Amino acid sequence: MDMIECSHIFKIYKSGDIETHALKNISFTISEGEFVAIMGPSGSGKSTLMHILGCLDTPTSGHYCLDGKDVSALSDDMLADIRMQKIGFVFQSFNLLPRTTVLRNVMLPLIYAGRPKQERENEARRALRDSAFPEDFWNHHSNQLSGGMMQRVAIARALVNNPSIVLADEPTGNLDTKTGEIVLDSFQRLHRDQGHTIILITHEQYVAEHGERIIHIRDGNIIKDEKVKRRRAANNHVSN
């Protein structure tokens, strides 16, 4: 089943008489349960595509269907509802509240959604377990954690609403190579063991190869869409 269908998407930015064509006739599908990397250099259009996939922006023309619903031209309020219900975001900069506990950071989307307190706590605990975050640190403040642990808290926060897709934008960009591998292994476990649909935005080949498929984008065009020939095995260890 196709969870995502992009059909002939164009994105044009205008500044006076100048037009910038960020995306040019982009078409592809992503099936439920796939782990897909979208890879390209700076200025390739991958960030623009990420914003459209994450319902943070809409295409100038073309259609974007998420879970069978065309969301291409919805209002900002409707897009916000879809983001809350269907998409979990993981960003390069973590975006955690520094003097707030791990558990409360993970609960934040549920607080904004008005969910009852006990339900918020139960779902946050589930998400932290799903992301293999050690329970001994649940009551630590996020500014007491290493970068790798903060990113795993961000992954748990992305999972707390049971989203249709997890969208990760350069999630290892602020991490050293070893810590980045641990975070990427977490995404692989979520995909392999729990069947999550994951879209990973990156400019690095070795990061993209943690997925099972790579969509290469350059100058606003998809230049290659390929299966990863040999998936990298997720490590069994988890670092604190």
Domain locations in the chain as residue ranges = 2-227
Asked if 94 and 145 touch (Cβ cutoff 8 Å), the reply is no
Measured between alpha carbons, how far is residue 218 from residues 28, 40, 117, 223, 238 in Å?
Answer: 15, 6, 46, 7, 35
Asked if 153 and 145 touch (Cβ cutoff 8 Å), the reply is yes
Q: CATH 3.30.450.20: does it fit domain 2-227? A: no
AA identity, residue 176? D
Enumerate residue ranges in the chain where pLDDT < 70: 230-240
Go through 25-34 and write b for each residue having 16 or more CB atoms within 10 A of its CB, e for each that does not. ebebebeeeb
pTM given for the model? 0.88
pLDDT for the residue 239: 42
Tokens, residue 166: 């997890």
Residue 175 CB coordination number (10 Å): 20
Consecutive H or E run containing 25? strand 18-31
* Spatial distance between the Cα atoms of 22 and 12, rounded to a whole number of angstroms: 6
Residue 79 CB coordination number (10 Å): 18
